[in-house]
Amino acid sequence: MNSSFCRIVLIGSGNVATRLGKAFRSAGHSVLQVWSRNREHAEVLARELGAEALRHPDAIEATADLVLVAVSDSAIENVLGLRSWDNLLLVHTSGSLPMDVLVPFSTRRGVFYPFQTLSRQVEVNMQEVPVLTEASNENDLALLNHLGKSISGRVQPVSSEERARLHLAGVFCSNFINHMLALGMEYARKEGLDSTLLDPLIRETVRKALENNPREVQTGPAVRGDANVIKKHLSLLESHPDLQKMYTFVTESIQAFHH
């Protein structure tokens, strides 16, 4: 790296590649090239980033500062097997894969994991996205931290083991809460109710949980041990057997957690 700006090659054109690519460009870095198995997506993203869309990873620029591999966990090994990488810094963006999956491919390895739910089509304030970094040597870790700090207010080196556990905690705190919201709001709509009445409740629940210890601000019939309300809810759910099973399971989990 000869200046404070990085010269980056992107592999992938999905949610993570799109959000990171745009953030890098906004911060003044160069995205030189984009390669993706989906050539059409690669061309769209390359155009947005002022980059070249490649037909094959063989054409990747050997003088790039890093190659960011933002593809699904199961695709990484196939994609990297398409060429040899000499001395290029290969960096993956996975929450759950250890850095060492890159061992067969290069001596310079790293991880650049944005700890956030990212969608191609949903804007996100990158400054507030924690970036968890890791690298196989100190110079490359410094490079990844520098790159991270140029787009985010919170960059933290984290080991592969810790990153995997944070990612797992994130499944409960993000994927699972989104699913509870989907179940509750879809139930309301199916019953012909105005589901927007739930919005203030949802916002306040999260605000309160984050400003306190969520264990201590748990409310509702399960933690109160209100058997009558629980029984009534289960009878209201008789025509929704999947919701009824979920209600029973989570209610028992709340009671076990609090007693």
Please give the size of the binding site for its own copies, defined by CB under 8 A: 89
If the CB atoms of residues 1 and 254 are measured against its own copies, the closer one turns out to be 254
CA distances from 168 to 111, 163, 174 (A): 17, 9, 10
Binding mask 43-82 for its own copies (x = CB under 8 A): -----------------------------xxx--------
128 binds its own copies (CB under 8 A): yes
- Residue 215 in 3-state DSSP? coil
If the CB atoms of residues 30 and 156 are measured against its own copies, the closer one turns out to be 156
List the one residue from 7, 130, 145, 157 that touches its own copies (CB under 8 A): 130
Residue 27 DSSP one-character state: T
Q: Shortest distance, CB of residue 176 to its own copies, whole angstroms?
A: 5
If the CB atoms of residues 40 and 226 are measured against its own copies, the closer one turns out to be 226
List, in sequence order, the alpha helices (H) in the chain: 15-26, 39-49, 76-80, 138-151, 160-170, 177-190, 199-211, 221-224, 227-236, 241-258
Q: Shortest distance, CB of residue 106 to its own copies, whole angstroms?
A: 22
d(CA 140, CA 147): 10
Residues 91-120 that bind its own copies (CB under 8 A): 96, 115-117, 119
If the CB atoms of residues 78 and 137 are measured against its own copies, the closer one turns out to be 78
d(CA 12, CA 76): 10
Query: For the stretch 2-37, what's the b/e string if a residue is b when 16 or more beta carbons lie within 10 angstroms of its beta carbon?
Result: eeebbbbbbbbbbbbbbbbbbbbbebebbbbbbbbe
Task: Answer yes or no: are the C-beta atoms of 255 and 223 closer than 8 Å.
Answer: yes
Binding mask 13-42 for its own copies (x = CB under 8 A): --x---------------------------
**Which residue stretch of 79-87, 103-111, 136-144, 225-233 sits at the interface with its own copies (rule: CB under 8 A)?**
225-233
CA distances from 84 to 12, 64, 69, 187 (A): 18, 15, 14, 52
Residues 138-197 that bind its own copies (CB under 8 A): 154, 156, 162, 164-166, 168-188, 191, 193-195, 197
Q: Shortest distance, CB of residue 110 to its own copies, whole angstroms?
A: 19
Q: Shortest distance, CB of residue 238 to its own copies, whole angstroms?
A: 12
Bridge partners (DSSP) of residue 9 are 33, 67
List the one residue from 58, 77, 100, 204 that touches its own copies (CB under 8 A): 204
Query: What's the length of the chain?
Result: 259
Q: Shortest distance, CB of residue 32 to its own copies, whole angstroms?
A: 29
Residue 133 DSSP one-character state: E
List the one residue from 40, 77, 100, 226 that touches its own copies (CB under 8 A): 226
